[in-house]
Structure 1
Amino acid sequence: MNNSPINIQVETQFMDAQSNPEQDQYVFAYTITIANNAQQSIQLLTREWSINDADGKVTQVAGDGVVGKQPHIGPGEHFTYTSGTVLTTPLGSMQGSYGMLWENGDDIEVPIPAFRLAVPNILH
């Protein structure tokens, strides 16, 4: 059970048309919805990702905002965005965190739970 006032939901999709398995290139899109269940606004300032492929390779990504934005999310509101990543294996995972700032000036690190990236039917 998640008791955090910030709720993260993730949906993933394998991008078959953009992938090239013969070249070990598997493209995945992920759509993330960030819901603010708190009583005050919050702003997403930074992101950090750990991207893992099936060969044990780990790629760390960090930067400002998401998809070029640092959104403000009001109480009871949500923000949804879609981004993507490329793996060299048909199976992998991602996890990370968002650096956010409450309206009152307090900062918070919000974990992004691990999620799987998988070519359809790769797992039985």
Structure 2
Amino acid sequence: MHRDPPYVAETHGIVVRVRPSYLAGQSDPEAGRWVWAYQVEIESRRPDVVQLMARRWTITDALGRVQEVRGPGVVGEQPVLGPGDRHAYASGCPLGTSSGMMSGAYYFADGAGRTFEVEIPAFSLDTPQARARPN
């Protein structure tokens, strides 16, 4: 059960909600490895059918090092969303520091082949001990 409210953004009638969580069991701070999972829900409030074609993530660690990840779809899928549809998935992110942040965009296409960008809200990756410090 998630206690923290999700990070939320709405762009062009597409709502993106993200809930990150620290994975202590997969992390090894002594070896300089911290791991987070994040759950994403994408909801269409549009009147038409759209398809998520690609994604772009910007991952920044606590030292300001930036990594950009681009690729087709999400976790091997390019979901099609009709009015009111939702698509949910989970993924993860390892970092070499005990905190960081992620943000990005999804790239959608509508039925006429027009493409548009949807914001993924910036969200903080924090260990439970660091939660009082916003990134």
TM-score > 0.5 by shorter chain: yes
Identity %: 39
CA-CA distance at 1:2 after TM superposition: 4.4
Structure 2: give runs of 5+ residues left out of the alignment. Answer: 1-8
Off by >2 Å, runs of 4+ in structure 1: 1-4
The amino acid that maps onto 2:65 is K
Matched, 1:122 2:130: yes
Aligned-partner Cα distance in 2 for 1:8–1:55 = 27
Report the TM-score, using the length of structure 2 for normalisation: 0.87
Matched, 1:30 2:66: no
**Which residue of structure 1 aligns with residue 48 of structure 2?**
40
CA-CA distance at 1:105 after TM superposition: 1.9
Matched, 1:69 2:77: yes
Task: Select 1:13's aligned residue among 13, 21, 30.
Answer: 21
**Which residue of structure 2 aligns with residue 103 of structure 1?**
111
Aligned-partner Cα distance in 2 for 1:3–1:63 = 20
Aligned-partner Cα distance in 2 for 1:123–1:82 = 21
Structure 1: give runs of 5+ residues left out of the alignment. Answer: none
**What does residue range 75-90 of structure 1 map to in structure 2 within 5 Å?**
75-90=83-98
